[in-house]
Amino acid sequence: MSDRQAMFAETPLGRRKRRTERVAKYFFGFMAMAMVVPLLLIVGYVVVKGWPCLSWEFLTTNPRGGGIRGGIWPALVGTIYLVGLSLCVSAPIGVLAAVYLNEYAKDNWFTRIVNLAVVNLAGVPSIVHGLFGVGAFVYAMHFGKSIISASLTLAIMTLPVIIASTKEALAAVPMSFREACWNVGATRWQTIRRIVLPNSISGILTGVILQVSRAAGETAPVMLTGVTVYKAVSDNGFFLYTLNEQCMSLSMHLYYIATQASGAPPALPYAIAVVLLAVVLLVNATAITFRVVLRSRKKW
């Protein structure tokens, strides 16, 4: 062995270090896998158990026999109504609020309080949002237990997260873009409309889409404010539900069938869970793809 080789030969210390290195890597890798693997196993298990029940009719017919036979069409429609309506309220308010906080507001105590309020609003438990919905919409505003109460409650619940994600998207637009625009004499609003919003729209939309899936899966607040266990949709007319009546939702249907309905076929709750999971995960996957594609197109 020449001197040079001896110099770079592995010492016992070096070997020990490499071993701890490897152990550390596998240790932390195991920690990460311990969360990923259960997810895949559970989703797989639920899909396998629910498969026999799934069919096109299952999705598009009214339930019969108190929900234990027939399909889940009204629950699907109810979920779409709730999510759609709540977004109509929370998306515009949320985006405008974020524009205000990020583009107009000066950094003073007032802005800091608003930001703090947003953060805390996001941390309020969903069941407390439900109580708020009961107090404010069901009783104080006399909407009763209805689709409109439930979707307004969902709107308040999703609002802070939309504000936060939109703010992040807006902050990602480089300051130099805005300065260039101001320098050619544009007003603040023109700058926002022509420069800031087009450049951050992908991030804003991703944040909003993610709230679709959150609102679709939420149970506790809508359970208190307007979702019921059984309400078939009417066959005639364009609007399957009217806004002042109660509706069904996928999440509530799963809760009801899994805990309270007796005599349901064992595959039924699994099938509902599969549909709910499919809705939520598809929406999320859309958001993720969207983000990846648009990010790769960014020029800065």
Partner 1 sequence: MIRLCGISAIIFVFGIFFFVFREGAPFLAKLDWSQFLFSPDWIPTSQTQPKYGVGALIVGTLSVTVLAMAIAVPFGLGAAVFVSEFCGKATKETLKIVIELLAAIPSVVWGFIGLCVLNPLIIQTFHTPIGVNMLNGAVLLALMSVPIMVSIGEDALKAVPDSYREAGLALGATRWQIVYRILLPAAKNGLLAAVLLGVGRAIGETMAVLMATGHSVRIPHSVFDPVRTLTATIAAELGETSKGSEHYQVLFLIGILLFSITFAVNLIADLAVRGVRKK
Query: In whole angstroms, how close is the CB of 141 to partner 1 at the nearest point?
Result: 10
Which CB atom, from 100 or from 230, has the smaller least distance to partner 1?
A: 100
Which CB atom, from 180 or from 288, has the smaller least distance to partner 1?
A: 288
Query: In whole angstroms, how close is the CB of 238 to partner 1 at the nearest point?
Result: 29
Q: What CA–CA distance (Å, rounded) separates 79 from 251? A: 8
239 sits near partner 1 (criterion: CB under 8 A): no
What is the per-residue binding string for partner 1 in 201-220, x denoting contact by CB under 8 A?
---------x--xx-xxxxx
Long-range CB contacts for residues 137-140, cutoff 8 Å, separation at least 24: 137/225, 138/225, 138/226
Which CB atom, from 8 or from 238, has the smaller least distance to partner 1?
A: 8
Which CB atom, from 41 or from 239, has the smaller least distance to partner 1?
A: 41
- Strand-pair partners of 247: 227
Query: In whole angstroms, how close is the CB of 66 to partner 1 at the nearest point?
Result: 17
20 sits near partner 1 (criterion: CB under 8 A): yes
What is the per-residue binding string for partner 1 in 29-68, x denoting contact by CB under 8 A?
xxxx-xxx-xx--x--xx----------------------
Query: In whole angstroms, how close is the CB of 42 to partner 1 at the nearest point?
Result: 6
Binding residues for partner 1, rule CB under 8 A, total 83
Query: In whole angstroms, how close is the CB of 149 to partner 1 at the nearest point?
Result: 12
Query: In whole angstroms, how close is the CB of 178 to partner 1 at the nearest point?
Result: 16
285 sits near partner 1 (criterion: CB under 8 A): yes
276 sits near partner 1 (criterion: CB under 8 A): yes
261 sits near partner 1 (criterion: CB under 8 A): no
**Distances, alpha carbon 272 to alpha carbons 75, 135, 246, in Å:** 10, 31, 20
What is the per-residue binding string for partner 1 in 91-120, x denoting contact by CB under 8 A?
--xx-xx-xxx--xx-------xx-xxxxx
- Within 10 angstroms of residue 5's Cβ, the number of other Cβ atoms is 8
- Residue list 121-180, contact with partner 1 (CB under 8 A): 121-132, 134-136, 139-140, 156, 159-160, 163
Q: Choose the binding region for partner 1 from 3-11, 69-77, 236-244, 273-281 (rule: CB under 8 A).
A: 273-281
Which member of 108, 259, 262, 296 binds partner 1 (CB under 8 A)?
259
- The 3-class secondary structure across the chain, one letter per residue, is CCHHHHHHCCCHHHHHHHHHHHHHHHHHHHHHHHHHHHHHHHHHHHHHHHHHHCCHHHHHCCEECCCCEECCHHHHHHHHHHHHHHHHHHHHHHHHHHHHHHHHCCCCHHHHHHHHHHHHHHHCCHHHHHHHHHHHHHHHCCCCCCHHHHHHHHHHHHHHHHHHHHHHHHHCCCHHHHHHHHHCCCCHHHHHHHHHHHHHHHHHHHHHHHHHHHHHHCCHHHHHHCECCCCCCCCCCCCCCCCCCCECCHHHHHHHHHHCCCCCCCHHHHHHHHHHHHHHHHHHHHHHHHHHHHHHHCCC
Q: Residue holding tokens 């703090």?
A: 116
Query: In whole angstroms, how close is the CB of 122 to partner 1 at the nearest point?
Result: 8
Query: In whole angstroms, how close is the CB of 182 to partner 1 at the nearest point?
Result: 18
